[in-house]
Amino acid sequence: MDAFERLYREHAPAVHALCRRMLGGDADADELVQDIFVRAWEKLPTFRGESAVGTWLHRLGVNVILDFMRTSRRDPLRFADDTAVEESATYGAVPADAIAAQLDLEAALNRLAGGARAVLVLHDIQGYSHEEIAQMTGIAAGTSRAQLWRARRQLARMLDP
Amino acid sequence: MTHLSEEERQGLADGTLSFERAAIASAHLATCDACAADVNRLRAVVRRVSSAPASAADGHTDELWPAIRARIEERKVVPLPVAATTRPGSWLRERRAWMLLSAAAAIVIAVVALQRARTPSPSPTAAATPVPKVLPSSAATVAPASANTRISQEEIQRLLDEVEMQKAMLPPGRAALADSDARAIDQAIAELRDALAHDPDNPALRQLLAEAVQQQGDLIKRMRNGS
Amino acid sequence: MFAALAIAAGACGTADAQAAATLPLIRARPLAAGAPVKVFFPSGRIRIETWNRDSIEVRGRIPRVEQFYLGGDRNGVKLGVEDHPDGSDVRPGDIVLRVPRGSQLSVKTVSAAITGRDVSGWFYSVSGVIRLSGTATSVEAESMAGDVYLDVSVPWERARTGGGRLVVTGAPADLDAATVRGALDVQSAAVMRGRFASVEGDIRYAGVPSTDGVFEFSNHSGAVELVLPRAVSTTLELSTITGTIENGFTPVRAAAGAGGHGGTLRMQLGAGGSRMTVRTFRGTIRLQPR
């Protein structure tokens, strides 16, 4: 148990942050962290060192979170395959919903639309490609790309109005 | 003037645009302040998000560990001893773990011995005082031999799996050090199990297997400490 | 003469460079007797001694690029050199640690050699050599690949190495010593209860088994050699599955095992008393008079 506890203490904060960001808040994050590490304990004998343990753990964590999102009806990725690209018309102008004060990043992430937030976290923070995101979530790679751009635009408005 | 598309702006911001398209798009930025400002804004967002701290070091997740441990313990075949919170005195914990493993192996020995008629041991060729047989000291619950053989095999497999897990968590140099030991022990266990398959009544073989299993457990502890 | 001057100048330059790479270290703080002391010192050399003061003192030299820490209070301290997050090797340092008698030590190194006198606790190294001597209340020493030398008078002692050599002298009353591939060498007349094991390393015990002492030796393919006084009193049970038993005490030969392989030899020397059990799979068992 010593080594697994050390693994937990080293990686749990990052896994917790992943849960919070994917879910858009603290609710359910604690429970999901527990689910992830119990699953990791069960799956550890199958880990053969093909990647760093932390990478393997995060991948497992993402799968657990996505499963949770699907079964808890909080699946923001259940939208029609939409490859329309949001053309930005905001450069040089202040949008109507601009927020006066600059939000910190975490608060801004929480305010994003669910699907856009999930893709942004998976792509820009966790480093998955659109193809990997498509495989994990069941959406098309093009949709993943469109959601990512939407998320960045929304963040840009909130962080630097 | 035709401005850059969203794909081009996002691609410039996160560096995913192809070399040729990036060159063309960058050339446009040099002549278009509006596009340049927008791409810079997007770059700032990408930079800020991708450098988001991995975690908040607030110690909150430490509070979740007891519940996780409890859930894991429920799933185990052989529960581990209670973990000590400080290192001094943990030799007692390690010693209990050693005794637990020895007891598990000894159960196999004791039950198989009880189940089958013992063959008389060869009479000593020296004219000496009869030497009493030494029975395993931690024989406990009597259970069908087949069930306890299963426990022994499962325990061995669990230990083998844990050796692999521990090796995966070691830095490469240390993993190599552990590898030679692991191979030596694996080979010994394989030879003993093979010999036991042909001579299951042999108490010395069973004791040797228990010792090899103990060595496996010790190696796991050494690797845990080295990670 | 010019050549000599050039050599001297070169030596000074080298020495200056070396001196410039490390910084002197001296730290001290109050520490109660019997308090725990946790040490992580990856590389170099650490020597530990006890003294009659209610304080802990660390002296030595640490590479200037490495980070030393010392934290805690009089009820327990932690000290050492920080590991590198990227896993790169920590440069070697050299420290002497003085702790109150009765301190419970936990010392872990990667390649640093550990030397301790009159110290108790847990001592672990990945590849460093561990040498402990003096008197202690309990000792646990393990090295994955380094050698371990124990010369301690102690009620309870546990020692493990993988490929390294394990040498036990001194006066441990209850001794549990095992290697995987390294040689295990025990020379002690004080062991009351001993467990000695290896997988491939040779085990050698030279001592005077005490009355009522209980000794168990187990080896898979390495040899087990017992070197005992001619006038020893002990009951021996020696068995090997496919190896050989060499009896240098009496003309008695071991009874062959099943299929003519291996053998078993049970006999009493002197008045019996202590009990020595040796089991190997194919390692040779040797009984030799001293």
pLDDT of residue B91: 41
**Lookup: tokens for B48:** 């800020």
Q: Do C144 and B129 touch (CB under 8 A)?
A: no
Tell me which of A63-67, B31-35, C219-223 is least confident. Answer: A63-67
Domain boundary among A71, A95, A128: A71
Other CB atoms within 10 A of residue A110 CB:
15
**Mean pLDDT value of segment B209-222:** 89
Burial class (CB in 10 A: 0-12, 13-18, 19+), B33: exposed
Task: From chain A, pick out residues whose CB is under 8 angstroms from the CB of B34.
Answer: 91-92
Residues of A with CB under 8 A from a CB of B: 1-9, 12-17, 30, 33-34, 37-38, 41-42, 44-45, 47-49, 53, 85-88, 91-92, 105, 120, 124-125, 148-149, 152, 155-156, 159-160
Whether residue A86 is found in the same domain as residue A115: yes
Asked whether residue A62 falls in the same domain as residue A136, the answer is no
| Chain A residues close to B4, C-beta within 8 Å | none
Helix (H, G, I), strand (E, B) or coil at C229: coil
What is the pLDDT of chain B when averaged over all its residues?
A: 68
Amino acid letter at B70?
Answer: A
Task: Give the pLDDT confidence score for residue B147 in this predicted structure.
Answer: 33
Band (pLDDT 50/70/90 cuts) for residue B61 is confident
Q: Which of C124, C199, C266 sits opposite B185 (nearest CB)?
A: C199
User: Is the CB of B61 less than 8 angstroms away from the CB of A33?
Assistant: yes
Residues A63 and A82 in one domain: no
Give the long-range contacts of residues C85-91, CB within 8 A, separation 24 or more: C87/B171, C89/C42, C89/C43, C90/C42, C90/C43, C90/C63, C90/C66, C91/C21, C91/C43, C91/C44, C91/C63, C91/C65, C91/C66
Same domain, A80 and A66: no
Find out whether B178 and C144 touch, Cβ atoms under 8 Å.
Answer: yes
Tell me the pLDDT tens digit for each residue of C39-89. 999 999 999 999 999 999 999 999 988 889 998 888 999 999 988 777 778
B/C interface, count of CB pairs below 8 Å = 131
∠ CA C116-C118-C119, nearest 5°, is 65
Give me the pLDDT at residue C52, please. 92
Over residues A135-144, mean pLDDT? 85
Q: Left if phi > 0, otherwise alpha if psi is -120 to 50, otherwise beta: which for B135? A: beta
A8-12, A92-96, B70-74: range with highest mean pLDDT: A8-12
What CATH number has the domain bearing residue A18? Answer: 1.10.1740.10
C181: closest CA among C149, C143, C214, C216? Answer: C143
Which residue in this structure is represented by tokens 């998976």? A122
In terms of CA atoms, which chain A residue is nearest residue B93?
Answer: A2
Mean pLDDT value of segment A87-106: 42
ipTM: 0.86
Q: Which of B:31-90 have CB within 8 Å of C?
A: 86-90
Q: Is A54 exposed, middle or buried (0-12, 13-18, 19+ CB in 10 A)?
A: middle
Are the C-beta atoms of residues B216 and B160 closer than 8 Å to each other? Answer: yes
| Spatial distance between the Cα atoms of B181 and C230, rounded to a whole number of angstroms | 37
Which chains touch C (3+ CB pairs under 8 A)?
A: B
Indicate whether A83 and A64 sit together in one domain: no
pLDDT band at B103 (very low <50, low <70, confident <90, very high): very low
For the residues B64-78, what does the mean pLDDT come to?
Answer: 76
Residue type, C240: T
The whole-number pLDDT of residue B100 equals: 44
Quick one: which of C240, C290, C229 has its CA closest to C265? C240
Distance of CA B39 to the CA centre of its chain: 47
CB atoms near residue A86 (< 10 Å): 12
With a CB cutoff of 8 Å and minimum separation 6, the contacts of B227 are: A3, A6, B166, B169, B170, B171, B174
pLDDT at C96: 97
Q: Where are the beta strands (DSSP E) in C31-165?
A: 36-40, 44-51, 55-63, 68-73, 76-81, 93-100, 104-109, 113-117, 120-125, 130-135, 139-143, 148-161
Which region holds residue B146: left if phi is over 0, alpha if psi is between -120 and 50, else beta?
A: alpha
Distance from CA of B123 to the nearest CA of A (A): 47
On whether both A59 and A26 belong to a single domain, the answer is yes
Q: Where are the alpha helices (DSSP H) in chain C?
A: 2-21
Give the closest-approach CA distance of B41 to chain C in angstroms. Answer: 33
CA distances from B203 to B113, B114, B121, C137 (A): 8, 12, 11, 36
Is the pLDDT score of A143 beyond 50? Answer: yes
> Is 80 exceeded by the pLDDT of residue A153?
yes
Question: What's the pLDDT score for residue C6?
Answer: 43
Q: What pLDDT is stored for residue C118 in this prediction?
A: 95
Q: Picking from A45-54, B85-94, C94-103, C111-120, which range would have the lowest pLDDT averaged per residue?
A: B85-94
The pLDDT value recorded for residue B111 is: 36
Q: Which residue has the higher pLDDT, C206 or A74?
A: C206
DSSP string, B118-161: PPPPPPPSS--PPPPP---TT------HHHHHHHHHHHHHHHHH
How far CA B146 is from CA of B69, B208, C69, in Å, comes to 31, 20, 55
Q: To the nearest whole percent, how much of chain B has pLDDT over 90?
A: 21
Q: Are residues A117 and A57 in the same domain?
A: no
Taking an 8 Å cut-off on Cβ atoms, the answer to whether A38 and B75 are in contact is: yes
Label residue A140 exposed, middle or buried (CB < 10 Å: 0-12, 13-18, 19+).
Answer: middle
Last residue within a domain, chosen from A26, A54, A71: A71
DSSP H helices, chain B, are 6-14, 19-29, 33-50, 65-74, 90-115, 145-169, 172-198, 203-226
Task: Output the pLDDT for position C154.
Answer: 93
What pLDDT sits at residue C117?
Answer: 96
Same-domain check for residues A107 and A43: no
Per the CB < 8 Å rule, is C235 touching B131?
yes
Whether chains B and C touch (3+ CB pairs under 8 A) is answered by: yes
Domain that holds residue A57: 2-71
Which DSSP helix (H) or strand (E) runs through C257?
Answer: none
Same domain, residue pair A62 and A92: no
Domain positions in chain C: 23-128
Alpha-carbon distances, residue C262 vs B195, C48, C127, C252 (angstroms): 13, 47, 36, 15
**Are A67 and A83 in the same domain?**
no
Q: Report the alpha-carbon distance of residue B63 to residue A17 in Å, rounded.
A: 15
Residue A113: predicted pLDDT: 78
CA distance B109 to B202: 9
Buried b or exposed e, range A64-82, using 16+ CB within 10 angstroms:
bbbebbeeeeebbbeeeee
| Closest residue of chain A to B39, computed from CA coordinates | A91
Q: Tell me which of B64-73, B102-111, C154-163 is least confident.
A: B102-111
Total domains present in chain A: 2
Which residues of chain C fall below pLDDT 70?
1-20
Q: What is the CA radius of gyration of chain B?
A: 31
Banded pLDDT at A120 (limits 50, 70, 90): very high
**What are the φ and ψ backbone dihedral angles of B145, each rounded to 5 degrees?**
-55, -40
pLDDT at B144 > cutoff 70: no
Mutation target vs B (from C179, C220, C240, C267; most B CBs, 10 A cutoff)? C220
Given A71, A98, A131, which residue is the final one in a domain?
A71
| DSSP code for A44 | G
Q: What percent of chain A has pLDDT over 90?
A: 12
Looking at the fold, whether A25 and A42 belong to one and the same domain comes out as yes
Looking at beta carbons, which pairs linking B147-154 to residues 24 or more positions away fall under 8 Å?
B148/B107, B148/B108, B148/B111, B148/B112, B149/B108, B149/B112, B151/B77, B151/B104, B151/B107, B151/B108, B152/B104, B152/B105, B152/B108, B154/B77
**What does the pLDDT read at residue B221?**
84
Whether residue A17 sits in one domain with residue A66: yes
* DSSP summary character for residue B82: P
